[in-house]
Chains A and B, each alone.
Chain A
Amino acid sequence: MARVGEVTQTASTGFTVQCYKLYAAPALGALVRAGGTPASGDSGIGGLAAGSSPNPLIPAGHGQQQGFTGTVVYGVVCRVSTEPLDPGRPVLARGESAATEEELYRSNPQLERLLTSRFEVLIIGHQDAEGSRPFLPPLPPRVHSFVYGCNPEEVAQCTARLDFLHLLLGPGLIAADEVVGACLRGAAQAHSDPDQFLLRAGRALAGELAQDLPRLNAILHRVAPW
């Protein structure tokens, strides 16, 4: 899957990613992967050539997914933002004379350099030498770790167990219900029987939110497939 950006800020529970291209952030609730070392040069930056040299600072692992070695961290995109690169230079409205938004961007090519898209990721699990683990890694990915979108197989595998919902539903996440909804809707498409997956996920949510019926209802309304 394509490389989308690099980790610019990191913490135990999540990290922030700066996208290589403006507006190239993954969708809210999408699953991304950070860290790990590609075993082969099969990935690139949104179609650009990818660096394939192994990073000696990342401990080597074995039996890894998708040809990656070292600890691979998985997370869910929980906030996407686009903002000026320089906080001291606020964005000004420029399109008064432009007919369309596309025209505005075409006539202001510098915008691609002045603005940047970032997204925040909540870590939901990791994979190390022992296999996949549905809880936080001992250490978050390093700054400048490459971040990739996950392909459907990875999504299906990561969401097969629904323990990650507990991390997503934890306190501190703004609009957590939206993120959970978006994540489950997206993940369902990666499973062979989406409806069955959603039912299973719904029941897992019900287990988590047994004492908070209004919240459960709110999320279920967001994921209801029928």
Chain B
Amino acid sequence: MGDDAQGRPLGVVVGGSLTQGVEVRLDSGASVEDLKVGTFVTIQGARHRFMGVVTDIALDSADPRIKHTPPPAGNSFIAQVVSGTVAYGAITVSPHVTLPAALGDDDPPLAAKTIPSHFSRAYTASQRDVEVVFGKEDERHFWIGNPLDMETKVCLDMDELVKRSIGVFGKTGTGKTFLTRLLLVGILQRGRASSIIFDMHSEYGWSGQDTDRSRQVKGLKQLFPAQVSTFTLDEASSRRRGSQVDEVLRIGYQEVEPEDVQMLRETLNLSEVAASAAFNLEREFGQGKWLLGFLALQDRAAVHDLAEKVQVNPQALLSLYNRLDGLRRYGFLVEQAGPDAAAQIIQHAEKGRHVVLEFGRYGNDPTAYVLVSNLLSRRIHQRYVALKEEAEGGGGREPRPLVLVIEEAHKFLSPAIASQTIFGTIARELRKYNVTLMVIDQRPSGIDPEVLSQLGTRLTCQLENERDIDAVLAGAPGGRQLRSVLSRLESRQQALLFGHALPMPVVVRTREYGSDQSYTQLGRRLGVGARRPGLPGGTEIETAEARLEREIKDLF
């Protein structure tokens, strides 16, 4: 690909539509084999310059008879003459943005609302075009990867990213975790928002595994020791992994609320009646006391008596008892927890720190993961609603934007329960209360479509299941064309990104994470709060020691 203002000429626009994409007939010099689905193309229209991506590649001919009488095999002259003239390559380009008329103009690229006129010339996009569209890495933009076959950086607008919920999808082993790590580093670097990460497999906090290369990669705590607090539910596991843990989290039985039981319906295999019995129990025992009171019952007879008292089907209550009794095996659930677990986490988040909650051995237990993340998120959300309302009433400052990161999101956001859970609420309420979600999942089809439609930015690695692909692309402009791009992603290090944080959909080779050089680049802080004397623009690389020293100085 060229570095010139204009890329390599490809062909001319011969037809198409805004919904189906623009058809470009390739010149005889341009081979279909040099183009890929997802390649960026610029089209010089009469008044606008358009940029789009190749969504389909085809072989066409002016005379259908060529299929029946192809040029003789031995005659390369005839083959050469015919290809590109009678038989030609054609591509479909989906135009996404219009570029400033003249290079160097400061106008931002706008979403394309029309298409180039007939016979406009199409070119491969130059590095400069891509830079104009995806911006340069700066305080607001975070470099997430590179377009295929190009060295230009694709940058996400981090302000836009955290304003709405984010979805990271892809089947196992396609690089979801690495992509998420990069996003979290981006949020950390820019300092625009705090994040709370429900780290199911303990791979974001201290260190994670790069199974492809059989090596350990640094987690957020190692890169940003001063900004990241790690909590653990399983102290022993964290200690074994050498993870530096700031706090061990304990949750009191009194903190579990009937809404949490609703969330556990699927993992505990509870009927609707059984799950809603928890509300009756709360009425009976009182808020904060119901679970302990319920589990204190000694035998079946006691449960039957209680069922009669609270007017619940005894079988349903018994099954609820049996399932909830299983919660006793969780070491993090204690009768008398110290300070409120959620409050501790909120305290850290309000200070602008990023909290990673490691689940240790409980990560493999969906019930524990759902219970804890739901319980904490609900409390966090309540706190943020209060803070926001105070701020609106003039009684406080606006709460700092918060991103809640959840894995296996379909367990929280399945159509059956999304409307009742806090995550469904957060996803729908959007940024009203400055809390947004980052959902990470390998089965997006299991997530409530209403929630999916609220995701502002979607980043998806390879997906194979048709339903998953449909789910991810639902509601995305040009979804049909993106489908062909998405279904052809490679299984590693490639992702299709689209949504609010980007001017147009793009396939990227995700940025490298794991080498010393990548740590140096990723470990620096830019953006809000990072500008200090001696750090012009926050772009200088700051060592961990220097940062620690500076933070101590700032504190006192």
- Enumerate chain A interface residues (CB-CB to B < 8 A): 198-199, 202-203, 205-207, 209-214, 216-217, 220-221, 224-226
Which residue numbers of B lie inside 8 Å of A, CB to CB?
28, 62-63, 65-66, 69, 71, 75-78, 80-82, 84-86
27 interchain pairs, CB-CB under 8 A:
A198-B77, A199-B77, A199-B81, A202-B77, A202-B81, A203-B28, A203-B84, A203-B85, A206-B82, A206-B85, A207-B85, A210-B63, A210-B85, A210-B86, A211-B62, A211-B63, A213-B63, A213-B65, A213-B69, A213-B86, A214-B65, A217-B71, A220-B75, A220-B82, A224-B75, A224-B77, A226-B76
Task: Give chain A residues whose Cβ lies under 8 Å from the Cβ of B82.
Answer: 206, 216, 220
A212, closest chain B residue (CB): B63
**Chain A residue contacts of B69, Cβ below 8 A:** 213-214, 217
* A59 nearest CB across to chain B (Å): 39
Report the minimum CB–CB distance from B515 to chain A (whole Å).
Answer: 49
Contact B80 A199 (CB under 8 A): yes
Q: In the bound complex, do residue B75 and residue A206 qualify as a contact, i.e. CB atoms below 8 Å apart?
A: no
Q: How many A-B residue pairs have CB under 8 A?
A: 51
Listed from nearest, the 8 A-B pairs whose CB atoms lie closest are A202-B81, A206-B85, A210-B62, A224-B77, A213-B63, A220-B78, A206-B86, A213-B65
Residues in B whose Cβ lies below 8 Å from that of A207: 85
Chain B residues, CB < 8 A from A206: 81-82, 85-86
Interface centre among A199, A207, A217, A221 (most CB of B within 10 A): A217
- What chain A residues lie within 8 Å of B84 (beta carbons)? 203
Residue of B at shortest CB range from A200?
B81
A216 CA / B63 CA spacing, docked (Å): 11
Q: Tell me the bound Cα distance from A224 to B76 in angstroms.
A: 9
* Most chain A CB within a 10 A radius of its CB, from B71, B75, B86: B86
CB B235 to nearest CB in A, in angstroms, measures 75
| Residue of A203, A211, A214, A221 most packed against chain B (CB within 10 A) | A203
Interface of A is mostly: helix
CA distance A63 to B366 in the complex (A): 90
Determine how close the nearest CB of chain B comes to the CB of A187; give it in whole angstroms.
16
Contacts of B71 in A (CB 8 A): 217
Q: Which residues of B contact A203 (CB under 8 A)?
A: 28, 81, 84-85
B381 to chain A, nearest CB (A): 65
The residue on A at minimum CB distance from B77 is A224
Nearest A-chain residue to B85, judged by Cβ: A206
Q: Is the CB of B78 within 8 A of A224?
A: yes
CA distance A213 to B82 in the complex (A): 9
Question: Given that A211-B63, A213-B65 are contacting pairs, would A220 and B77 also be in contact in the complex, using a CB cutoff of 8 Å?
Answer: yes
Residues of A within 8 A of B66 (CB): 213
B81 & A221 in contact (Cβ 8 Å cutoff): no
Give Cα distance in the complex from A213 to B63, angstroms: 7
Contacts of B63 in A (CB 8 A): 210-213
Q: How far is the CA of A32 from the CA of B86 in the complex (A)?
A: 31
* Residue from B28, B62, B77 in contact with A226 in the complex, judged by beta carbons closer than 8 Å: B77
With CB as the reference atom, state the residue of chain A lying closest to B28. A203
Chain B residue numbers with a CB within 8 Å of A205 are 81
Complex: A224 Cα to B65 Cα, angstroms: 21
**Given the complex of chains A and B, what is the CA–CA distance between A214 and B65 in angstroms?**
9
Q: Is the CB of A221 within 8 A of B80?
A: no
A212 to B84, CA, bound (A): 16
Hey, which chain A residues are within 8 Å of B78, CB to CB?
Answer: 202, 217, 220-221, 224
Chain B neighbourhood of A226, CB < 8 A: 76-77
- Considering the chains assembled together, what is the distance between the CA atoms of A205 and B78 in angstroms? 11
Residues on B with beta carbons closer than 8 Å to the beta carbon of A202:
77-78, 80-81
Q: When the two chains form their complex, are residues B86 and A216 in contact, meaning their CB atoms are under 8 A apart? A: yes
Residue of B nearest to A210 (CB): B62
Query: Besides A199-B81, A202-B78, A226-B76, 10 other CB < 8 A contacts?
Result: A198-B77, A199-B80, A202-B80, A205-B81, A211-B62, A211-B63, A213-B63, A213-B69, A213-B86, A225-B77
Q: How far in angstroms is the closest Cβ of chain A from B266? A: 62
Bound CA–CA A138/B553 (angstroms): 92
In the complex, which residues of chain A have a beta carbon less than 8 angstroms from the beta carbon of B75?
220-221, 224
- CB-CB nearest in chain B for A203: B85
Q: How far is the CA of A210 from the CA of B65 in the complex (A)?
A: 10
Q: Provide the bound-state CA to CA distance between A226 and B86, in Å.
A: 20
Bound CA–CA A226/B84 (angstroms): 19
Taking the closest CB of chain B, its distance from the CB of A211, in whole angstroms, is 6
CB proximity of B424 to chain A, nearest CB, Å:
58
A201 (CB) vs chain B CBs: closest residue = B81
- Return B65 CB to nearest CB of chain A, in Å: 5
Closest chain B residue to A207, Cβ basis: B85
Contacts of B85 in A (CB 8 A): 203, 206-207, 210
Q: How far is the CB of B504 from chain A (nearest CB, A)?
A: 35
Which of B28, B65, B71, B77 has the most A CB atoms < 10 Å from its CB? B77
In the bound complex, CA of A209 to CA of B81 (Å): 12
Cα–Cα, bound, A210→B62 (Å): 6
Residue of B nearest to A205 (CB): B81
Report the bound CA distance from A198 to B28 in whole Å: 15
